[in-house]
């Protein structure tokens, strides 16, 4: 076992595609996937499923959950249930946009830094140091405040604070891959740096980056709703979970105003964390080897030397 | 022997004391990063969309050309960006963080009382998180793959998924308004007078002042915000400490210690946790950053007069000097913590000093 773990970077790509079905079979990932899927469906059908206009102030104010409205009404007579459903359309796509942008930007910068090296590497890495010198929410807060309060600016602030972690991981992977024999062989065959990066290096970076990204979706949702809670994201009267909780602070006796949007955030974030954590577990060479062993070796671990990404590329 | 020593150059100071050299190098990095932090806050302040003069003075005063000219002159807004940065830096060195638009008072004065309040809450939270995280992480690692491990995994992932600001409101509502078991908002009951300021941490100051009743009241007020704040970091620390302990459990020296028949408690205390101390230290540093972020979202709910409440009020009112002041102060606090973590690395692991 110890022989196959040292060149494990070469195995990553193969691992990723084998890991997804493995991760899926665990109950934790299954629960996460079901909840996440449910919320995605809610986000899609919200305009038709919501019993009332989420912005219309036409119901009696501050009525408790009951027959008239399932989850009660807020301080200006809007239907909490309708606002909750509509909120799914706001937070989830933006969180996804934030994570995808940060992943692409971070992977790009990290691979440039690792591949080019020299002063380019030095400059880019000092930039990540600088951003990581702040606690993330604090930096996102000051960026969002200076750009002006809006959801889009909150997303931009989120991207700025979260790309460095991807850049760091990708850079260190690229650095270790650069000296691997199959990459050197590619260069000797006359690959341009770009082709080497694209066909030999980036496929092997995909696994860890995907795990990081899947774990980051929950963080992104917490960040965006947190900024909205601070008044730096969604602006009233938008139906957004963080600002709904913020509004509930001044009506603390109307418990239904705060409880439900919070539960919505909790379940969504939890679902993505369950999925991300299971994926990480399945990709981790130690734990997946153990699971394969425990399952009676259903999935045979090939020796590292045999599974060579250069042959996988099929050229 | 003598020939070789005389032929060598006399050893430099940091060659004789590697730890000193390590400290100096780290200190240099921290100072550079601190400059970087000021650059970030400066750029964000300077690039404010809209008219900074009108924003700072308010509509009324901004219509008076003399006032505007005086403001531009005083803040050097007519100068080039590098010059303005130097002016900004000089002001910072004199403790001038700008003036709050909302209250009209210097931001530095307002933050001076807020910092100890937040430090107190963050220190308590890190102690609680580390104690619980160490216990749960070690237990999970020892029961790896079994039911206990699975339950702890779900619990820690739940901790990582709860929106802290929401949990704060729920806890305040349940334990104070409904059940009445927790004390109300703020750092002390209104019937108490704050202790004479020594450290600014009420609990410590009460002890120094010899007032046990005050100490317990301050402690009771700390409990709820600290527990709410700790939940996320407990989740974080449990996951990381589990992984770190697992890594160590798989080493030969642990097998040797067990084979030798050492009691389990001693193996964990003296060997496992010591071997895992570096990754644990790293994640404690990260957890501090998370806690400082968390205070911004939690303190306001409990009316805790710290950096978080100040940041919340500044953000809600779009008081940019206030927000930047918090960013700068928290950035510096976080740098100091990371510096301390780096130093501890050097102390715990001599190999790090040479890197």
- Collect all residues of chain A within an 8 Å Cβ-Cβ radius of residue B322: none
DSSP tally for chain A: helices H, then strands E: 14, 0
Which of the residues in chain A have pLDDT under 50? 1-13, 287-315
Residue A127 contacts B where some CB pair is shorter than 8 Å: no
List the one residue out of A42, A32, A92, A51 whose CA is nearest residue A240: A92
Please, is A53 exposed, middle or buried when counting C-beta atoms within 10 Å of its C-beta (0-12, 13-18, 19+)? Answer: middle
Please, is B301 exposed, middle or buried when counting C-beta atoms within 10 Å of its C-beta (0-12, 13-18, 19+)? Answer: buried
CATH for A28-289 (3.40.50.700, 2.60.40.10, 3.40.225.10, 1.10.3720.10): 1.10.3720.10
Calculate the CA B92 to chain-centre distance.
21
Distance from CA of B165 to the nearest CA of A (A): 7
Count of Cβ atoms closer than 10 Å to residue A17 Cβ: 10
Residue B153 contacts A where some CB pair is shorter than 8 Å: yes
- Collect all residues of chain B within an 8 Å Cβ-Cβ radius of residue A153: none
Residue A22 contacts B where some CB pair is shorter than 8 Å: no
Taking CB atoms and an 8 Å cut-off, how many pairs form between chains A and B?
Answer: 149
- Collect all residues of chain A within an 8 Å Cβ-Cβ radius of residue B111: none
Interface test with B, best of A84, A133, A154, A235 (most B CBs within 10 A): A133
Rounded CA separation B165/B119 (Å): 19
Check CB contact under 8 Å for B316 and A129: no
Residue A37 contacts B where some CB pair is shorter than 8 Å: no
Locus of tokens 């550079």: B32
Instruction: Dump pLDDT digits (tens) for A165-199.
Output: 999 999 999 998 888 888 888 889 888 888 888 88
Angle at the Cα of A16 from the Cα atoms of A10 and A18, rounded to 5 degrees: 110
Q: Which pLDDT belongs to residue B229?
A: 93
| Backbone angles phi and psi of A75, in degrees to 5 | -65, -15
Q: Which pLDDT belongs to residue B174?
A: 87
Helices A202-229 and A241-248, axial angle in degrees (round to 10): 30
Check CB contact under 8 Å for A135 and B160: no
Rounded CA separation B127/B116 (Å): 16
List the one residue out of B185, B220, B184 whose CA is nearest residue B202: B220
Residue B42 contacts A where some CB pair is shorter than 8 Å: no
Calculate the CA A149 to chain-centre distance.
23
Count of Cβ atoms closer than 10 Å to residue A25 Cβ: 12
Helices A255-283 and A80-116, axial angle in degrees (round to 10): 30
Residues 89-128 of B with CB under 8 A from A: none
Check CB contact under 8 Å for A259 and B170: yes
Please give the span between the terminal C-alpha atoms of chain B, in angstroms, as a whole number: 29
**Sign of the Cα pseudo-torsion (A129, A130, A133, A137, in order):** negative
CB crowding A221-241: b at 16 or more within 10 Å, else e: bbbbbbbbbbbbbbeeebbbb
Calculate the CA A211 to chain-centre distance.
8
Q: What is the mean pLDDT of chain A?
A: 80
B138 pLDDT higher than 80 = yes
Interface test with A, best of B122, B169, B313 (most A CBs within 10 A): B169
> Of A313 and B272, which is predicted with more confidence?
B272
* Cβ proximity of B316 and A235 under 8 Å: no
Calculate the CA B67 to chain-centre distance.
39
Residues 230-289 of B with CB under 8 A from A: 246, 250, 289
Query: In this structure, what is the dihedral angle of CA atoms B299, A238, A88, A271, given to the nearest 10 degrees?
Result: -10
Check CB contact under 8 Å for A138 and B312: no
> Of B51 and B273, which is predicted with more confidence?
B273
Summarize the confidence of residues B79-83 as an average pLDDT.
Answer: 79
- Collect all residues of chain A within an 8 Å Cβ-Cβ radius of residue B102: none
User: Helix, strand or coil for residue B177?
Assistant: helix
B16 pLDDT higher than 90 = no
- Collect all residues of chain B within an 8 Å Cβ-Cβ radius of residue A232: 315
Rounded CA separation B12/B19 (Å): 13
Q: Considering the entire predicted model, what is its pTM?
A: 0.85
Check CB contact under 8 Å for B36 and A270: no
Instruction: Dump pLDDT digits (tens) for A58-95.
Output: 777 667 777 667 777 777 778 888 888 999 999 999 99
Query: In this structure, what is the dihedral angle of CA atoms A257, A263, A265, A268, given to the nearest 10 degrees?
Result: -150
User: Helix, strand or coil for residue A73?
Assistant: strand
User: On the CB side of A105, how many CA atoms lie within 13 Å of its CA?
Assistant: 17
Q: Which pLDDT belongs to residue A16?
A: 61
Q: Which two tokens stand for residue A188?
A: 């000797």
Residue B210 contacts A where some CB pair is shorter than 8 Å: no
Check CB contact under 8 Å for B161 and A226: no
Interface test with B, best of A230, A270, A278, A288 (most B CBs within 10 A): A230
Interface test with A, best of B36, B49, B161, B326 (most A CBs within 10 A): B161
Q: Give the percent of chain A with pLDDT over 90.
A: 33
B115 pLDDT higher than 80 = yes
Q: Which pLDDT belongs to residue A96?
A: 94
Rounded CA separation A265/A242 (Å): 8
Q: How confident is the model at residue B106 (pLDDT cuts 50, 70, 90)?
A: confident
Check CB contact under 8 Å for A133 and B172: no
Domain segments of chain A: what residues? 28-289
Instruction: Dump pLDDT digits (tens) for B24-43.
Output: 888 888 888 889 888 888 88
Q: Which pLDDT belongs to residue A307?
A: 33
* Cβ proximity of B172 and B302 under 8 Å: yes
Q: Which pLDDT belongs to residue A110?
A: 93
Distance from CA of B15 to the nearest CA of A (A): 26
Measure CB to CB from residue A262 to each of B37, B158, B166 and give the nearest one.
Answer: B166
Q: What is the mean pLDDT of chain B?
A: 83
Residue B301 contacts A where some CB pair is shorter than 8 Å: yes
Q: Which pLDDT belongs to residue B167?
A: 93
Q: Which pLDDT belongs to residue A224?
A: 94
Check CB contact under 8 Å for A142 and B246: no
- DSSP H/E element including B222: helix B212-249
| ipTM of this predicted structure | 0.86
Instruction: Dump pLDDT digits (tens) for B170-227.
Output: 998 888 887 877 787 788 877 777 887 778 788 888 888 878 888 888 888 888 999 9
Instruction: Dump pLDDT digits (tens) for B227-240.
Output: 999 999 999 999 99
- Collect all residues of chain A within an 8 Å Cβ-Cβ radius of residue B329: none
Summarize the confidence of residues B136-163 as an average pLDDT.
Answer: 92
User: On the CB side of A180, how many CA atoms lie within 13 Å of its CA?
Assistant: 24
Residue B161 contacts A where some CB pair is shorter than 8 Å: yes
DSSP notation for B18-46:
HHHHHHHHHHHHHHHHHHHHHHHHHHHHH
Interface test with B, best of A28, A29, A142, A276 (most B CBs within 10 A): A142
List the one residue out of A225, A204, A283, A245 whose CA is nearest residue A29: A283
Q: Which pLDDT belongs to residue A74?
A: 75
User: Helix, strand or coil for residue A261?
Assistant: helix
Measure CB to CB from residue B293 to each of A135, A148, A253 and give the nearest one.
Answer: A135
Rounded CA separation B256/A241 (Å): 54
Residue B145 contacts A where some CB pair is shorter than 8 Å: yes
B301 pLDDT higher than 70 = yes
């Amino acid at each position: 076992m110890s022989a196959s773990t040292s060149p494990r970077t070469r195995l990553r790509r193969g691992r990723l595609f084998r890991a997804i079905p493995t991760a899926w079979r665990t109950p934790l990932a299954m629960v996460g996937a079901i909840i996440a899927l449910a919320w995605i469906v809610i986000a899609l059908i919200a305009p038709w499923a919501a019993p009332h206009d989420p912005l219309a102030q036409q119901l009696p104010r501050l009525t408790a959950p009951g027959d008239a409205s399932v989850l009660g009404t807020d301080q200006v007579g809007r239907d909490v249930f309708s606002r909750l459903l509509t909120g799914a359309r706001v937070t989830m796509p933006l969180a996804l946009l934030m994570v995808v942008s940060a992943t692409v930007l971070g992977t790009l910068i990290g691979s440039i830094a690792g591949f080019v090296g020299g002063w380019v590497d030095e400059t880019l890495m000092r930039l990540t140091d600088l951003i990581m010198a702040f606690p993330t929410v604090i930096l996102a807060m000051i960026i969002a405040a200076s750009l002006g309060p809006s959801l889009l600016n909150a997303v931009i602030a989120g991207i700025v604070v979260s790309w460095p972690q991807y850049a760091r991981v990708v850079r260190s992977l690229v650095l270790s891959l650069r000296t691997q024999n199959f990459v050197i062989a590619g260069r000797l065959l006359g690959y341009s740096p770009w082709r080497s990066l694209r066909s030999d290096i980036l496929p092997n970076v995909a696994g860890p980056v995907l795990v990081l990204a899947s774990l980051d979706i929950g963080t992104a949702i917490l960040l965006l709703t947190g900024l909205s809670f601070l008044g730096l994201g969604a602006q009233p009267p938008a139906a957004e979970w963080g600002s709904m909780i913020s509004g509930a602070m001044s009506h603390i006796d109307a418990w239904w105003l705060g409880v439900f949007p919070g539960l919505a955030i909790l379940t969504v974030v939890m679902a993505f964390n369950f999925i991300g954590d299971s994926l990480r577990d399945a990709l981790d060479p130690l734990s997946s080897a153990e699971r394969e062993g425990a399952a009676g070796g259903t999935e045979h671990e090939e020796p590292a030397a045999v599974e060579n990404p250069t042959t996988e590329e099929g050229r | 022997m003598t020939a070789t020593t005389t032929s060598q150059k006399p050893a430099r100071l940091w060659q004789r004391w590697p730890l000193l050299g390590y400290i100096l190098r780290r200190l240099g990095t921290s100072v550079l990063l601190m400059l970087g932090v000021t650059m970030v806050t400066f750029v964000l302040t300077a690039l404010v969309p809209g008219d900074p003069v009108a924003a700072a003075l308010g509509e009324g005063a901004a219509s008076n050309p003399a006032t505007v000219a005086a403001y531009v002159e005083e803040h050097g807004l007519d100068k080039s960006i590098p010059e303005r940065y130097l002016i900004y830096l000089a002001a910072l060195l004199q403790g001038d963080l700008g003036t709050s638009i909302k209250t009209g008072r210097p931001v530095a004065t307002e933050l001076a009382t807020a910092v100890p309040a937040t430090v107190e809450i963050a220190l308590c939270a890190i102690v609680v998180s580390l104690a619980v995280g160490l216990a749960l992480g070690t237990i999970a690692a020892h029961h790896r793959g079994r039911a206990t491990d699975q339950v702890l995994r779900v619990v820690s992932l739940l901790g990582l998924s709860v929106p802290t600001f929401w949990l704060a409101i729920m806890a305040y509502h349940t334990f104070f308004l409904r059940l009445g078991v927790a004390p109300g908002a703020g750092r002390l009951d209104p019937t108490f007078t704050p202790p004479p300021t020594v450290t600014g941490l009420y609990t410590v100051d009460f002890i120094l002042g010899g007032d046990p009743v005050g100490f317990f009241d301050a402690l009771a007020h700390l409990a709820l915000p600290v527990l709410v704040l700790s939940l996320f970091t407990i989740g974080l620390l449990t996951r990381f400490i589990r992984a770190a302990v697992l890594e160590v459990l798989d080493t030969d020296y642990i097998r040797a210690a067990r084979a030798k028949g050492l009691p389990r408690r001693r193996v964990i205390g003296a060997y496992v946790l010591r071997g895992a101390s570096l990754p644990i230290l790293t994640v404690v540093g990260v957890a501090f950053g998370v806690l400082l972020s968390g205070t911004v979202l939690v303190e306001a709910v409990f009316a805790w007069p710290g950096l978080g409440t100040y940041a919340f009020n500044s953000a809600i009112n779009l008081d940019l000097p206030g927000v930047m002041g918090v960013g700068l102060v928290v950035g510096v606090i976080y740098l100091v913590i990371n510096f301390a973590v780096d130093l501890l690395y050097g102390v715990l692991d001599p190999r790090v000093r040479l890197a």
